[in-house]
Structure 1
Amino acid sequence: MAHPTDHTPTRAPAGAGDDVSRRLLDSAAVLSYDPAVEIDWDAPLPPGHYGLNPEWSTLYGTALWAEMTEEQRVTLTRHEVGSIMTTGIWFEMILQQMVLRDQYLKDPAGAEFRFALTEIADECRHSIMFARACEKMGVPRYRPNRLVAHAGRAYKSLARGELAYGGILVAEEVLDVMQRDWMRGENVLDIVRGTSRIHVVEESRHMKFARQEIRERLRGAGALRRRNAAFGIAAGAYVIVTSMVHPSVYRAAGLDVERALAEVRASEHRRAMLRTSSRHLMAFLAENGLLTGAAARIYRRIHML
């Protein structure tokens, strides 16, 4: 029998979270991709193919879209998807730091720890993949403005537990719905279809992990903690969604930037697409007490609700 002062470490019994992580690790062992070999990076880009399904363009359905030439539409969608990809790289760098910090000093033999590092490895490959796709399309680096960049730096440094994983889930859920359409778009560039397919498959595991982490962290949480988390996640969503498409994409397509932004803000089609991409996310947040009145007001302001 061990002496009462014996400091031999003990391992906590596996719970529901560890069971989920084990299943995700099994999935990762079977369904993971190396973009360096899965994507034909040397294939030429067909001149008439879009960067994303036209319906997902921020200007689709507006008067300005009707006035644009087909070449302008193709150029715009390539720059829009490039902006979304570079925003994705920015947030994946935030995500990796939050996940790595969350796993600091946790049991390395635990399935949660191993899957968290597997997710970080996935995100590294995704960022390189998106960077190569943007280079191939000739899209510049669209960076968030200084205020948003500072907000992201603060979020990654301060967000913990359900707030960190909630921010991760927001970014992944919204992009997932878009990319499921892009990967099936017959008139979408193969390079976008291929990167979307890889991202959708691997991010589905990341979303399951984030949902489970949120449930675990909120088990037994009081109303105040849930309200604070709900507001913080909604604030993060506001920054992410409003930063996805950089205003300079309209200039790249030869458009008047101010007019384009005005038409995007007034576009009911754009609002409907954002609500569609957020439907499952809103249901999950509501189920877990994270869709409070204050949070809902933020989501409605950015048309996610």
Structure 2
Amino acid sequence: MTDQVVEQGAARLLSSAARLSRDPMTEIDWEAGQDDRYGLSPEWSTLYGTSYWDELSEEKRRELTRHEAASVASTGIWFELILQQMILRDVYSTDPASSEFQWALTEVADECRHSIMFARTTGKLGAAVYRPSMLTRELGRLFKTLAYGESAYAAILVAEEVLDVMQRDWMRDPRVLPLVRQVNNIHVVEESRHMMFARDETRDALAGAGPVRRWTSALVVSIAASVIVNAMVSPAVYANVGLDSARAVREAAGNEHHRALLRSSCAGLMEFLGSAGLLTKAAVRVYRRVGLI
């Protein structure tokens, strides 16, 4: 991709941001009380479709989904912090007068607002504090330090696309808390620009890449995807809701309904990765193990 094309693309994204950027601090009524609706669409609960879900009372199901929503939001904050650091590193020496530089800072500003928005949402859900495991956090630290080019941007795309499909369902579902629906709506609108940017950067980085680099990058991205998806809902959710944690983890791991939802949510993503040459046999094995294919 030529510098001129990069500049034109960044200028379009800047224009879109100027017209469509949202401010969750002013658009959301953070002082409004919360009713007794779900934290996410019940079909997206990790236990929906299992025998354990059938045993839960309606009240316990709602409580579970609120904790799951808080965990997903916390995982979003963790990955957005990684994303921000990678973007800032990527444009560290870029001409500040360029649209490319200014768009990068605009995306970082968007992600900062999103992280604050998710943080406030977790507090309003009344759930416990959730964080990825120590191992996952350290892997994230290593990834944000070493990943570059297509490895960084395709991994960003995986996280954003998986969350995007979930949130599109939740924001349209009247059974879900109005606060969560508002938050998801804001995030979906703004992330559409970020996903476009990540796809362009991935294609650009892969231009002229040889088979060894593509194979390595494909494997790195698939492993990153596996870590991200596995970190979405903390096992601590089940204990905090008062469930049998060992049984809940076991049934969630074998929940074919949830895996089918993940596969359908990733269909467009996998099509893109395939077109970019990032769906090698080794990568497909990883995606299949985590339920994305």
Q: TM-score, normalised by structure 1?
A: 0.94
| Structure 1, unpaired ranges of 5+ | 1-11
Q: Moved runs in structure 1, 4+ residues, more than 4 A?
A: none
Q: Report the Cα distance in structure 2 between the residues aligned to 1:73 and 1:252, rounded to whole angstroms.
A: 13
Aligned residues: 293
Amino acid at match of 2:44: W
Q: Report the Cα distance in structure 2 between the residues aligned to 1:146 and 1:63, rounded to whole angstroms.
A: 31
- Cα displacement (A) at 1:111: 1.6
Superimposed CA distance per residue, residues 121-143 of structure 1 (whole angstroms, 9 cap, x where no aligned partner): 00000000000001111122211
Q: Report the Cα distance in structure 1 between the residues aligned to 2:275 and 2:7, rounded to whole angstroms.
A: 22
Contact kept in structure 1, 2:226 and 2:286, CA below 8 Å: yes
- Cα displacement (A) at 1:20: 1.7
Amino acid at match of 1:24: L
1:100-179 alignment runs, 5 A limit = 100-179=88-167
Out of 278, 282, 292, which is 2:266 matched to?
278
- Higher Cα radius of gyration: 1
Q: Report the Cα distance in structure 1 between the residues aligned to 2:285 and 2:271, rounded to whole angstroms.
A: 16
Q: Quick one: percent identity of the two aligned structures?
A: 57
Contact kept in structure 2, 1:247 and 1:261, CA below 8 Å: yes
2:35 pairs with 1:46: yes
Contact kept in structure 2, 1:51 and 1:81, CA below 8 Å: yes
Contact kept in structure 1, 2:150 and 2:205, CA below 8 Å: yes
Contact kept in structure 2, 1:17 and 1:216, CA below 8 Å: no
- What corresponds to 1:31 in structure 2? 20
Contact kept in structure 2, 1:17 and 1:213, CA below 8 Å: no
2:10 pairs with 1:21: yes
Q: Report the Cα distance in structure 2 between the residues aligned to 1:123 and 1:101, rounded to whole angstroms.
A: 15
- Cα displacement (A) at 1:13: 7.0
Amino acid at match of 2:121: A
| Structure 2, unpaired ranges of 5+ | none
Q: TM-score, normalised by structure 2?
A: 0.98
1:1-305 alignment runs, 5 A limit = 14-47=3-36, 49-305=37-293
Task: Tell which deviates more after alignment, 137-146 or 167-176.
Answer: 137-146
Aligned CA distance change for structure 1 residues 118 and 235 (closer, same or farther; 3 Å): same
Q: For 1:138, what is the secondary structure of its paired residue?
A: coil
Q: For 1:15, what is the secondary structure of its paired residue?
A: helix
- Cα displacement (A) at 1:18: 2.2
Contact kept in structure 1, 2:128 and 2:240, CA below 8 Å: no
Contact kept in structure 2, 1:75 and 1:252, CA below 8 Å: no
